[in-house]
Amino acid sequence: MPNTEANDRTLEQLFEAERTLRKYHDELVELPQDRLLEIIGRALPAALKEPREEEATIRLVRMAALLGELTGPRAIDALIDILASEHPEARHSAGEQIEALAFDRFREIAEGVERALKRLPVGSAALSELPYLLAEVPEPGVAKLLARFLAHEDPDAVAAAIEAVVEIGDPAAAKLLAPLVDDERTVELGEEGEDPEEVTIGELASEALELLQGDEEEEQAQH
């Protein structure tokens, strides 16, 4: 027979834990921004190196939520550092914060992305995540940023940018893809749970050009 009272107590404890979390979150957000950034700046490197997956995720997710309420380059760079982590839930949390901020403060995010393109190493998870986030933002400056990714030496970042250009669906972006059709660098693509398929950047660019040209022809036919 199920222990109903014990289950009810557990649910109440869950509610209490959420109230406590919100209380501490609000207390930290009420601190002067520079002070909170100093606190996060001390905690973030250790969290990124934390070997225990669950513990690292807890810390990074909570810091991403705090950083999403701050402004300035230090906060944006820290969010992108979490986006570069090896922990999927933490990356998802940081990505949500970055995307939300991009709708309200696109210039700030754009400058952070430009810094990331210069400071992050090839192979950083953030370089292949940022193009997808940018594709969701209806700002004219997105195409310029994606062009920077298309010219990057990281093939995974280039592949992500190609997919982002297609998602935007702007035929004018075709000129950004044309230089890549002969690129023989390879990347692995595939849905989660499936075996990845190795393709070249050139193949991705050629396919993207066909899709964009098809969209352009369809648009012209409608007019």
List pLDDT tens digits, range 139-187.
Answer: 989 999 999 999 999 999 999 999 999 999 888 888 889 999 999 999 9
Q: What is the pLDDT of residue 5?
A: 87
pTM of the predicted model, to two decimals? 0.89
Is the sign of the CA dihedral 22, 113, 135, 192 positive or negative?
negative
> Is residue 1 situated within a structural domain?
no
> Is residue 3 situated within a structural domain?
no
> Is residue 109 situated within a structural domain?
yes
User: How many domains does the chain fold into?
Assistant: 1
Alpha-carbon distance of 76 to 23, in angstroms, equals 24
> Is residue 2 situated within a structural domain?
no
Assign residue 218 the CATH number of its domain: 1.25.10
How much is the average pLDDT of 105-133? 96
> Is residue 170 situated within a structural domain?
yes
pLDDT of 124 strictly over 80:
yes
> Is residue 8 situated within a structural domain?
no
- Residues 85 and 51 sit within 8 Å (Cβ to Cβ): no
Averaged pLDDT score across all residues of the chain: 92
Please give the residue range of the domain that contains residue 45. Answer: 13-222
